[in-house]
Structure 1
Amino acid sequence: MIGCYFRRLGTDGDAELFASTDDTRSNWNFDIQHGSPPLALLTKAIEAKLSDGMRIGRLTLDILGAVPITEMRVQARVDRPGSRIAMLSAEMSALRPDGPPRAVARVTAWALATSDTADAATDRYPPLIEGPTAPLELHWKVARGYVESVEWRPQYDGSDSGRVYWMSPIANLVDDEPTTALERLAMVVDSANGIGAAIDPEKFIYMNTDTTVHLHRAPVGSDFGVRARGSIGPDGIGVTTAELFDRDGFIGTSAQTLLVQRR
């Protein structure tokens, strides 16, 4: 591991306080955070409130504003309690010296009760097998910060179905605290937008406002395959969708809404 995204500072009432590190810095703008570290930290806060026998089936990150590299305040809560279906959320606020904390990111999650459905289990796609690593051709391959916290392994087998990357986080999430497989997936899944880029990044900016992940199976391990493809509309709005895999096979999908603007 090369470092961590956040350092725990303590608590303030029911909020947890964290310091953001350089490993969170975005490839788009070095002064703000990439979307994956906030998603992973808020996922961690939600998992801490998850009841036994429940599993998260959907995560949605909404980016409410530029996420600065500063001290963060995180609060999680159960919005809709239930023994079979529950909604939880966590919000990240940036502390400001000249005013109240400003909300910059929010994650909502649906948690569902687990049961034995192994005899009915189906996968939409066959397992994604990692092959030789192709040259890294993403335009932000020389960026610093978050890009250096992930091991990127592009594949040669991209097709009309999308561009394929295998990724492994090589930084911790919070200090040296244990990290779950779901949190490790959250540490890389926001990158689908860059992987599935459908337009020239030298001519356009395409920033995602959100990331939604649906998981029909709990992820395992630290290695995740993403097959992503972007679609750009005629009026400055786009969408990136992706199929998500771990070493055992297909685990779910992700989708992101894009603001597309000419440089």
Structure 2
Amino acid sequence: MAESDGYQVFESTPGTASNWDAAIQHGSPPLALLTRAIEELYLDRPELRVGRLVLDILGAIPVAPVKVRAWVERPGARITMAVAEMRAVHGADRALARVSAWLLTTSDTADAVTDRHPPLVEGTAMDNPHGWMGAPGYLETVSWRKQRTAPGEPAVVWMSPLVPLVDSEPLTDLQRLAMVVDSANGVGAALDPDEFVFMNTDTAVHLHRAPRGTDFALRARGSIGPDGIGVTTADVFDRQGFIGTSAQTLLVQRR
């Protein structure tokens, strides 16, 4: 990591590579790195918590040096928005990914807690966790434990990061979640990846509770329309229970 013109500069490792194309990054590492940049803006305001993260992928993110900056888009005492963007160090100088986050002031609502889903308990993982077995890159940096579900039910996968995000720097729980949540598209895959490409353009995560721990479950399902556009939605869990939802827009193309 280095500093340059107000940006932090990072070298991308092979572990960021997408399962679709080894020359471009999977969405989870950029989401996690931009989340880290947003968290750094608010180290002196522990009363704020991220309630929503939205990653927009604005171009192919190379497995190459990238630079990141973050700023406060909408300041406020109780509600504030922060934005972080990523650009390539070499090549065209334009944003390749952007994350916007709503941060809200916390208060005691323990007596009003409601969860619409009960906690998930991890069981024995299936032998074949996903359709990209053997693909190098990002998928080698996470533990992916697919659960057995009944026919017609959404797929469930427990996931944990196996590597740090930046050097040996400790991870926050939100960064750990960001390192896996973009994988909901793969978890809820409704199509055979040998026959179709279904790449997400975004990932929107809403969190009614702060994530905790190192293990997260995604219960996801993809819906494919008749005109090459799809959506994957997911319920997100940690070991304590349901923490939020995610949604992704998909470009669907026949190989």
Whether these two folds match at TM > 0.5 is: yes
* CA RMSD, 1 decimal: 1.0
Rounded Cα–Cα distance in structure 2 between residues aligned with 1:49 and 1:174? 17
1:77 to 71, 75, 85: 71
Deviation (angstroms), 1:162:
0.6
Q: What's the % identity of the aligned pairs?
A: 62
Q: Residue 124 of structure 2 aligns with which residue?
A: 132
Rounded Cα–Cα distance in structure 2 between residues aligned with 1:226 and 1:113? 27
1:44 aligns with 2:36: yes
Deviation (angstroms), 1:243:
0.3
Rounded Cα–Cα distance in structure 1 between residues aligned with 2:150 and 2:182? 19
Q: Residue 185 of structure 1 aligns with which residue?
A: 177
Deviation (angstroms), 1:159:
5.0
Rounded Cα–Cα distance in structure 2 between residues aligned with 1:166 and 1:100? 38
- Give SS of 2:31's match: helix
1:145 to 123, 134, 137: 137
Rounded Cα–Cα distance in structure 2 between residues aligned with 1:214 and 1:262? 31
Rounded Cα–Cα distance in structure 2 between residues aligned with 1:64 and 1:91? 10
2:162 to 151, 160, 170: 170
Q: Residue 251 of structure 2 aligns with which residue?
A: 259
Contact 2:131 2:192 (C-alpha < 8 Å) held by counterparts: no
Q: Residue 56 of structure 2 aligns with which residue?
A: 62
Deviation (angstroms), 1:95:
1.4
Rounded Cα–Cα distance in structure 2 between residues aligned with 1:77 and 1:150? 30
Deviation (angstroms), 1:100:
4.9
Rounded Cα–Cα distance in structure 2 between residues aligned with 1:88 and 1:161? 36
1:223 aligns with 2:215: yes
Equivalent residue letter for 1:186: A
Rounded Cα–Cα distance in structure 1 between residues aligned with 2:89 and 2:5? 15
1:26 aligns with 2:18: yes
Change (3 A) 1:217 1:159: farther
Q: Cα deviations across residues 190-213 of structure 1 (Å, max 9, x unaligned)?
A: 111011011121211100000000
- Give SS of 2:11's match: strand
Deviation (angstroms), 1:102:
2.8
Deviation (angstroms), 1:157:
2.5
- Give SS of 2:111's match: helix
Deviation (angstroms), 1:158:
4.9
Equivalent residue letter for 2:98: R
Q: Residue 155 of structure 1 aligns with which residue?
A: 147
1:101 aligns with 2:101: no
Equivalent residue letter for 2:220: A
Rounded Cα–Cα distance in structure 2 between residues aligned with 1:159 and 1:91? 40
Rounded Cα–Cα distance in structure 1 between residues aligned with 2:105 and 2:95? 30
Q: Residue 5 of structure 1 aligns with which residue?
A: none
2:237 to 220, 226, 245: 245
Change (3 A) 1:158 1:53: farther
Q: Residue 84 of structure 2 aligns with which residue?
A: 90
Deviation (angstroms), 1:66:
0.5
Rounded Cα–Cα distance in structure 1 between residues aligned with 2:194 and 2:3? 43
- Give SS of 1:172's match: coil
The runs of 4+ residues in structure 1 deviating greater than 3 Å are 158-161
The structure that is strand-richer by fraction is 1
Question: With structure 2 as the length reference, what TM-score do the two structures score?
Answer: 0.97
Query: Runs of 5+ in structure 2 lacking a partner?
Result: none
Contact 2:65 2:89 (C-alpha < 8 Å) held by counterparts: yes
Query: Runs of 5+ in structure 1 lacking a partner?
Result: 1-7
